[in-house]
A and B are shown apart, each in its own frame.
Chain A
Amino acid sequence: MNRKPLLLVLAIAVMLTAACGGKNIVVLVPDPDGTVGSVSVANEGGTVVMNTANQSTDIKDRNTAPRPPSEMKPDAIERYFGKALAVTPPPPAHFILYFKSNSTRLTAESASQLPTVVAAIRERSARNVSVVGHTDAMGDRAYNLNLSRRRAEAVKGLLVKQGIDAAHIVTTSHGEENPLIPTPDNVSQPKNRRVEVVVP
Protein backbone atom coordinates (compact mmCIF):
# COMPACT_ATOMS: atom_id res chain seq x y z
CA MET A 1 0.00 0.00 0.00
CA ASN A 2 1.39 3.36 -1.01
CA ARG A 3 0.99 5.92 1.76
CA LYS A 4 2.47 8.89 -0.08
CA PRO A 5 -0.78 10.30 -1.54
CA LEU A 6 -2.40 10.18 1.90
CA LEU A 7 0.52 12.07 3.44
CA LEU A 8 0.36 14.66 0.66
CA VAL A 9 -3.37 15.18 1.23
CA LEU A 10 -2.75 15.55 4.98
CA ALA A 11 0.06 18.05 4.37
CA ILE A 12 -2.15 20.14 2.06
CA ALA A 13 -4.99 20.02 4.61
CA VAL A 14 -2.67 21.28 7.35
CA MET A 15 -1.41 24.12 5.12
CA LEU A 16 -4.95 25.15 4.18
CA THR A 17 -6.04 25.24 7.82
CA ALA A 18 -3.04 27.39 8.67
CA ALA A 19 -3.70 29.76 5.75
CA CYS A 20 -7.43 30.25 5.98
CA GLY A 21 -8.58 30.28 9.33
CA GLY A 22 -8.90 28.39 12.57
CA LYS A 23 -6.47 30.87 14.09
CA ASN A 24 -6.81 33.95 16.25
CA ILE A 25 -4.04 36.41 15.43
CA VAL A 26 -2.93 39.79 16.83
CA VAL A 27 -0.25 41.81 14.98
CA LEU A 28 1.26 45.16 16.01
CA VAL A 29 2.09 47.22 12.91
CA PRO A 30 3.40 50.78 12.41
CA ASP A 31 0.64 53.39 12.11
CA PRO A 32 0.38 55.58 8.95
CA ASP A 33 3.06 58.00 10.27
CA GLY A 34 5.48 55.18 11.20
CA THR A 35 4.95 55.10 14.98
CA VAL A 36 4.84 51.71 16.72
CA GLY A 37 2.92 51.48 19.98
CA SER A 38 2.28 48.59 22.33
CA VAL A 39 -0.40 45.94 22.75
CA SER A 40 -1.15 43.36 25.42
CA VAL A 41 -2.94 40.07 24.71
CA ALA A 42 -4.24 38.39 27.84
CA ASN A 43 -6.39 35.39 28.78
CA GLU A 44 -6.69 32.73 31.52
CA GLY A 45 -3.44 31.13 30.26
CA GLY A 46 -1.24 34.23 30.45
CA THR A 47 -0.31 37.60 28.94
CA VAL A 48 1.88 38.59 26.01
CA VAL A 49 3.01 42.20 25.43
CA MET A 50 4.30 43.32 22.02
CA ASN A 51 6.04 46.61 21.25
CA THR A 52 8.08 46.29 18.04
CA ALA A 53 6.90 46.51 14.43
CA ASN A 54 5.13 43.48 12.90
CA GLN A 55 5.33 41.35 16.05
CA SER A 56 2.48 38.88 16.12
CA THR A 57 1.02 36.27 18.40
CA ASP A 58 -1.71 33.70 17.97
CA ILE A 59 -4.13 32.39 20.49
CA LYS A 60 -5.57 28.87 20.51
CA ASP A 61 -8.30 29.41 23.10
CA ARG A 62 -9.10 31.27 26.32
CA ASN A 63 -7.26 28.77 28.56
CA THR A 64 -4.08 28.54 26.49
CA ALA A 65 -1.50 31.33 26.85
CA PRO A 66 -0.93 33.40 23.68
CA ARG A 67 2.11 32.10 21.75
CA PRO A 68 5.38 34.05 22.36
CA PRO A 69 5.61 36.86 19.76
CA SER A 70 7.36 36.39 16.42
CA GLU A 71 7.67 38.64 13.38
CA MET A 72 4.98 38.37 10.72
CA LYS A 73 6.19 38.84 7.14
CA PRO A 74 4.53 41.57 5.03
CA ASP A 75 3.05 39.03 2.58
CA ALA A 76 1.33 37.19 5.45
CA ILE A 77 0.00 40.50 6.82
CA GLU A 78 -1.37 41.28 3.36
CA ARG A 79 -2.92 37.82 3.03
CA TYR A 80 -4.74 37.95 6.36
CA PHE A 81 -5.53 41.66 6.60
CA GLY A 82 -5.29 43.09 3.06
CA LYS A 83 -9.05 43.57 2.72
CA ALA A 84 -9.43 45.33 6.10
CA LEU A 85 -6.40 47.53 5.31
CA ALA A 86 -7.85 48.44 1.88
CA VAL A 87 -10.95 50.10 3.41
CA THR A 88 -9.10 52.08 6.11
CA PRO A 89 -10.13 55.73 5.75
CA PRO A 90 -7.49 58.50 5.89
CA PRO A 91 -7.12 60.19 9.31
CA PRO A 92 -9.46 63.14 9.93
CA ALA A 93 -8.10 66.59 9.02
CA HIS A 94 -7.62 68.96 11.98
CA PHE A 95 -7.47 72.73 11.69
CA ILE A 96 -6.88 75.31 14.43
CA LEU A 97 -8.11 78.85 13.80
CA TYR A 98 -7.00 81.65 16.18
CA PHE A 99 -8.92 84.72 17.35
CA LYS A 100 -8.19 88.27 18.44
CA SER A 101 -8.41 88.87 22.20
CA ASN A 102 -11.97 88.87 23.63
CA SER A 103 -13.31 88.75 20.10
CA THR A 104 -15.08 86.52 17.59
CA ARG A 105 -12.87 87.86 14.78
CA LEU A 106 -10.19 85.56 13.38
CA THR A 107 -6.57 86.67 13.21
CA ALA A 108 -5.55 87.63 9.67
CA GLU A 109 -3.45 84.49 9.34
CA SER A 110 -6.28 82.17 10.38
CA ALA A 111 -8.78 83.97 8.13
CA SER A 112 -6.50 83.20 5.20
CA GLN A 113 -6.62 79.49 6.15
CA LEU A 114 -10.41 79.22 5.67
CA PRO A 115 -10.29 78.21 1.97
CA THR A 116 -8.12 75.19 2.98
CA VAL A 117 -10.78 74.12 5.49
CA VAL A 118 -13.55 74.50 2.91
CA ALA A 119 -11.51 72.49 0.38
CA ALA A 120 -11.01 69.64 2.90
CA ILE A 121 -14.76 69.49 3.65
CA ARG A 122 -15.56 69.33 -0.09
CA GLU A 123 -12.81 66.82 -0.94
CA ARG A 124 -13.98 64.40 1.77
CA SER A 125 -17.72 65.03 1.15
CA ALA A 126 -17.81 65.50 4.93
CA ARG A 127 -21.29 65.80 6.43
CA ASN A 128 -20.15 65.56 10.09
CA VAL A 129 -17.82 68.52 10.54
CA SER A 130 -17.04 69.34 14.17
CA VAL A 131 -16.34 72.95 15.22
CA VAL A 132 -15.19 73.37 18.83
CA GLY A 133 -14.70 76.81 20.40
CA HIS A 134 -12.17 77.63 23.15
CA THR A 135 -10.94 80.70 25.05
CA ASP A 136 -7.90 81.58 27.15
CA ALA A 137 -8.20 82.01 30.94
CA MET A 138 -8.84 85.81 30.92
CA GLY A 139 -12.22 86.70 32.46
CA ASP A 140 -14.71 84.44 34.25
CA ARG A 141 -15.71 80.94 33.26
CA ALA A 142 -19.33 81.59 32.33
CA TYR A 143 -18.30 84.52 30.12
CA ASN A 144 -15.67 82.35 28.44
CA LEU A 145 -18.09 79.49 27.83
CA ASN A 146 -20.31 81.97 26.03
CA LEU A 147 -17.39 83.52 24.13
CA SER A 148 -16.20 80.09 22.95
CA ARG A 149 -19.75 79.30 21.78
CA ARG A 150 -19.87 82.56 19.81
CA ARG A 151 -16.45 81.80 18.31
CA ALA A 152 -17.62 78.36 17.14
CA GLU A 153 -20.79 79.93 15.70
CA ALA A 154 -18.69 82.58 13.93
CA VAL A 155 -16.58 79.89 12.21
CA LYS A 156 -19.72 77.97 11.27
CA GLY A 157 -21.10 81.19 9.76
CA LEU A 158 -17.95 81.71 7.72
CA LEU A 159 -18.05 78.13 6.40
CA VAL A 160 -21.75 78.47 5.52
CA LYS A 161 -20.96 81.71 3.68
CA GLN A 162 -18.47 79.68 1.60
CA GLY A 163 -21.28 77.33 0.57
CA ILE A 164 -21.00 74.55 3.18
CA ASP A 165 -24.40 73.20 4.33
CA ALA A 166 -25.13 74.37 7.91
CA ALA A 167 -26.69 70.96 8.66
CA HIS A 168 -23.28 69.35 8.15
CA ILE A 169 -21.61 71.37 10.93
CA VAL A 170 -21.95 70.71 14.66
CA THR A 171 -20.63 73.38 17.07
CA THR A 172 -19.53 72.75 20.67
CA SER A 173 -18.05 75.12 23.26
CA HIS A 174 -15.41 74.18 25.80
CA GLY A 175 -14.83 77.65 27.29
CA GLU A 176 -11.50 77.97 29.11
CA GLU A 177 -11.58 74.30 30.31
CA ASN A 178 -9.59 72.69 27.51
CA PRO A 179 -6.54 74.87 26.80
CA LEU A 180 -3.91 73.99 24.22
CA ILE A 181 -1.36 75.54 26.60
CA PRO A 182 -2.36 75.27 30.29
CA THR A 183 -2.03 78.57 32.22
CA PRO A 184 -3.07 79.90 35.65
CA ASP A 185 -6.45 81.71 35.75
CA ASN A 186 -6.69 85.21 34.21
CA VAL A 187 -3.62 84.72 32.01
CA SER A 188 -3.83 85.85 28.39
CA GLN A 189 -2.61 83.16 25.93
CA PRO A 190 -3.23 83.74 22.20
CA LYS A 191 -2.77 80.01 21.39
CA ASN A 192 -5.77 79.16 23.58
CA ARG A 193 -8.10 81.65 21.81
CA ARG A 194 -9.08 79.21 19.14
CA VAL A 195 -11.61 77.12 17.29
CA GLU A 196 -10.70 73.56 16.33
CA VAL A 197 -12.28 72.22 13.16
CA VAL A 198 -12.26 68.44 12.61
CA VAL A 199 -13.11 67.14 9.15
CA PRO A 200 -13.47 63.34 9.19
Chain B
Amino acid sequence: MRYQGIIAFALLIVLCTLRPCSAALTHAGIIKTVHGQAFVVRDGATLAAEPEMQIHPGDVVKTGDPGGIGMIFSDDTIVSMGPETEFAIDTYLFEPVEGKLSFIAKILYGTISFITGQITKLSPESVSLETPAATIGVRGTRVLIKVAD
Protein backbone atom coordinates (compact mmCIF):
# COMPACT_ATOMS: atom_id res chain seq x y z
CA MET B 1 0.00 0.00 0.00
CA ARG B 2 2.84 2.41 0.85
CA TYR B 3 4.08 2.34 -2.75
CA GLN B 4 0.75 3.50 -4.15
CA GLY B 5 1.50 7.16 -3.52
CA ILE B 6 4.93 6.89 -5.14
CA ILE B 7 3.52 5.04 -8.16
CA ALA B 8 0.74 7.62 -8.56
CA PHE B 9 3.30 10.44 -8.35
CA ALA B 10 5.62 8.79 -10.91
CA LEU B 11 2.65 8.22 -13.22
CA LEU B 12 1.69 11.88 -12.93
CA ILE B 13 5.22 12.96 -13.94
CA VAL B 14 5.22 10.55 -16.90
CA LEU B 15 1.78 11.80 -18.01
CA CYS B 16 2.84 15.42 -17.84
CA THR B 17 5.96 14.92 -19.92
CA LEU B 18 3.98 13.24 -22.71
CA ARG B 19 3.42 15.28 -25.85
CA PRO B 20 -0.36 16.08 -25.62
CA CYS B 21 0.08 17.68 -22.21
CA SER B 22 2.85 20.06 -23.28
CA ALA B 23 1.54 20.54 -26.83
CA ALA B 24 -1.71 22.02 -25.54
CA LEU B 25 0.26 24.60 -23.59
CA THR B 26 2.82 25.56 -26.21
CA HIS B 27 0.97 25.65 -29.53
CA ALA B 28 1.59 29.04 -31.16
CA GLY B 29 -0.18 28.66 -34.46
CA ILE B 30 -1.02 26.33 -37.31
CA ILE B 31 0.09 25.70 -40.85
CA LYS B 32 -2.71 26.57 -43.25
CA THR B 33 -1.24 26.39 -46.77
CA VAL B 34 1.52 24.16 -48.14
CA HIS B 35 3.06 24.21 -51.62
CA GLY B 36 5.84 21.90 -52.81
CA GLN B 37 8.65 21.20 -50.34
CA ALA B 38 7.86 22.47 -46.83
CA PHE B 39 9.17 21.18 -43.51
CA VAL B 40 9.13 21.80 -39.79
CA VAL B 41 12.30 21.03 -37.81
CA ARG B 42 11.38 20.24 -34.19
CA ASP B 43 13.66 18.73 -31.53
CA GLY B 44 16.12 17.68 -34.23
CA ALA B 45 13.51 15.84 -36.33
CA THR B 46 12.40 17.06 -39.77
CA LEU B 47 8.64 16.72 -40.30
CA ALA B 48 6.81 17.19 -43.60
CA ALA B 49 4.56 20.24 -43.25
CA GLU B 50 0.81 19.66 -43.65
CA PRO B 51 -2.22 21.94 -43.43
CA GLU B 52 -3.60 22.18 -39.86
CA MET B 53 -0.31 20.98 -38.33
CA GLN B 54 0.47 22.90 -35.12
CA ILE B 55 3.50 25.19 -34.84
CA HIS B 56 5.35 25.52 -31.53
CA PRO B 57 7.87 28.08 -30.22
CA GLY B 58 11.33 26.73 -31.05
CA ASP B 59 10.23 25.30 -34.40
CA VAL B 60 12.23 26.04 -37.53
CA VAL B 61 10.08 26.19 -40.68
CA LYS B 62 11.82 25.58 -44.03
CA THR B 63 10.92 25.45 -47.70
CA GLY B 64 12.73 24.02 -50.73
CA ASP B 65 12.27 24.88 -54.39
CA PRO B 66 9.50 24.73 -55.42
CA GLY B 67 8.17 25.39 -51.94
CA GLY B 68 5.86 27.65 -49.97
CA ILE B 69 4.03 27.68 -46.66
CA GLY B 70 1.40 29.86 -44.95
CA MET B 71 0.82 29.96 -41.17
CA ILE B 72 -1.78 31.55 -38.88
CA PHE B 73 -0.78 32.24 -35.27
CA SER B 74 -3.16 32.36 -32.29
CA ASP B 75 -2.94 36.19 -32.15
CA ASP B 76 -3.96 36.37 -35.88
CA THR B 77 -0.41 37.02 -37.14
CA ILE B 78 -0.13 35.59 -40.66
CA VAL B 79 3.28 34.51 -41.96
CA SER B 80 3.89 33.15 -45.45
CA MET B 81 7.17 31.96 -46.95
CA GLY B 82 8.34 31.69 -50.53
CA PRO B 83 10.75 29.03 -51.84
CA GLU B 84 14.22 28.41 -50.31
CA THR B 85 13.35 30.09 -47.02
CA GLU B 86 14.18 29.38 -43.40
CA PHE B 87 12.19 30.92 -40.52
CA ALA B 88 13.00 30.13 -36.87
CA ILE B 89 10.45 30.92 -34.15
CA ASP B 90 12.49 31.85 -31.05
CA THR B 91 9.80 33.25 -28.74
CA TYR B 92 6.04 33.34 -29.08
CA LEU B 93 3.95 34.53 -26.15
CA PHE B 94 0.30 35.54 -26.49
CA GLU B 95 -1.26 35.70 -23.04
CA PRO B 96 -3.08 39.05 -22.98
CA VAL B 97 -4.65 38.44 -19.55
CA GLU B 98 -1.17 38.09 -17.97
CA GLY B 99 0.29 40.81 -20.21
CA LYS B 100 2.78 38.34 -21.73
CA LEU B 101 3.22 39.40 -25.35
CA SER B 102 6.20 38.65 -27.58
CA PHE B 103 7.00 37.38 -31.06
CA ILE B 104 10.69 37.04 -31.87
CA ALA B 105 11.83 35.11 -34.94
CA LYS B 106 14.83 34.78 -37.23
CA ILE B 107 14.77 34.84 -41.01
CA LEU B 108 17.97 33.10 -42.09
CA TYR B 109 17.39 33.30 -45.85
CA GLY B 110 14.57 33.55 -48.38
CA THR B 111 11.37 35.60 -48.69
CA ILE B 112 8.62 36.24 -46.14
CA SER B 113 5.34 38.11 -45.88
CA PHE B 114 4.49 39.04 -42.29
CA ILE B 115 1.05 40.44 -41.34
CA THR B 116 0.92 41.49 -37.71
CA GLY B 117 -1.79 40.39 -35.28
CA GLN B 118 -2.97 41.27 -31.79
CA ILE B 119 0.49 41.14 -30.19
CA THR B 120 1.46 44.24 -32.21
CA LYS B 121 -1.85 45.96 -31.42
CA LEU B 122 -1.42 45.42 -27.68
CA SER B 123 2.37 45.91 -27.52
CA PRO B 124 3.90 47.45 -30.68
CA GLU B 125 7.50 47.00 -29.51
CA SER B 126 7.12 43.24 -28.96
CA VAL B 127 7.43 41.95 -32.54
CA SER B 128 10.99 41.64 -33.78
CA LEU B 129 12.45 39.77 -36.75
CA GLU B 130 16.18 39.12 -36.77
CA THR B 131 18.01 38.85 -40.08
CA PRO B 132 21.77 38.52 -40.63
CA ALA B 133 22.07 42.18 -41.77
CA ALA B 134 19.48 43.98 -39.60
CA THR B 135 16.81 43.72 -36.91
CA ILE B 136 13.30 44.49 -38.15
CA GLY B 137 10.79 45.94 -35.68
CA VAL B 138 7.34 45.31 -37.12
CA ARG B 139 4.80 47.75 -35.65
CA GLY B 140 2.23 46.80 -38.28
CA THR B 141 0.79 45.72 -40.45
CA ARG B 142 2.22 44.00 -43.55
CA VAL B 143 5.93 43.74 -44.22
CA LEU B 144 7.78 41.84 -46.95
CA ILE B 145 11.34 40.72 -46.25
CA LYS B 146 13.97 39.17 -48.46
CA VAL B 147 17.19 37.83 -46.98
CA ALA B 148 20.00 36.95 -49.39
CA ASP B 149 21.89 33.68 -48.94
With beta carbons under 8 angstroms apart, the residue of B30, B141, B149 that contacts A36 is B141
* Nearest-neighbor residue (CB-CB) of A37 within chain B: B140
Complex partner residue of A27 from B24, B69, B144, CB under 8 angstroms = B144
Chain B 120-149, CB-CB to A under 8 Å as 1, else 0, gives: 100000000001111111111111111111
Query: Which one, B3-11, B40-48, B71-79, is touching chain A?
Result: B71-79
Q: State whether A87 touches B133 (Cβ < 8 A).
A: no
**A200 in contact with B30 given A39-B137, A128-B52, A128-B54 (CB within 8 Å):** yes
State how many angstroms separate the Cβ of A184 from the closest Cβ of chain B.
Answer: 18
User: Is A35 a contact partner of B115 (Cβ separation < 8 A)?
Assistant: no
Given A37-B116, A39-B137, A40-B136, also A26-B52 (CB < 8 A):
no
Q: Which of A21, A66, A87, A91 contacts B149 (CB 8 A)?
A: A21
**A interface majority secondary structure:** loop
- A122 in the interface (beta carbon within 8 A): no
Query: In chain A, residues 168-188, which have Cβ atoms closer than 8 Å to a Cβ of chain B?
Result: 170, 174, 177-178
CB distance from A130 to the nearest CB of B (A): 7
What secondary structure prevails in chain B residues at the interface with A? strand
Question: Between A and B, how many residue pairs show CB distances below 8 Å?
Answer: 152
Shortest distance between the CB of B119 and any CB in chain A (Å) = 13
Contact size class for A? 35 or more
Size of chain B's interface in residues, with CB distance under 8 A? 50
Contacting pair A83 B83 (CB below 8 A): yes
Cα-based distance from A85 to B114 in the complex (angstroms): 10
Interface centre among B32, B142, B143 (most CB of A within 10 A): B142
A22 at the B interface (CB under 8 A):
yes
- Asked whether any CB of chain A lies closer than 8 Å to the CB of B111, the reply is yes
CB distance from B83 to the nearest CB of A (A): 6
Nearest chain B CB to A41 CB, angstrom units = 5
A18-62 interface with B by 8 A CB criterion: 21-32, 35-43, 59-62
Q: Please tell me if B101 contacts chain A, counting CB pairs below 8 Å.
A: no
Instruction: Produce 1/0 per residue, B38-76, CB < 8 A to A.
Output: 000000000000011010000000000000111110101
Asked if A111 lies at the interface with its beta carbon under 8 angstroms from chain B, I say no
**Contacting residue for A42 out of B54, B113, B134, CB 8 A:** B134
A174 to B94, CA, bound (A): 14
Question: Nearest 9 pairs between A and B by C-beta?
Answer: A37-B140, A84-B82, A89-B32, A87-B68, A31-B141, A83-B82, A37-B141, A40-B137, A31-B142
The chain A residues found within 8 Å of chain B, CB to CB, are: 21-32, 35-43, 59-62, 66, 77, 80-89, 91-92, 125-128, 130, 170, 174, 177-178, 198, 200
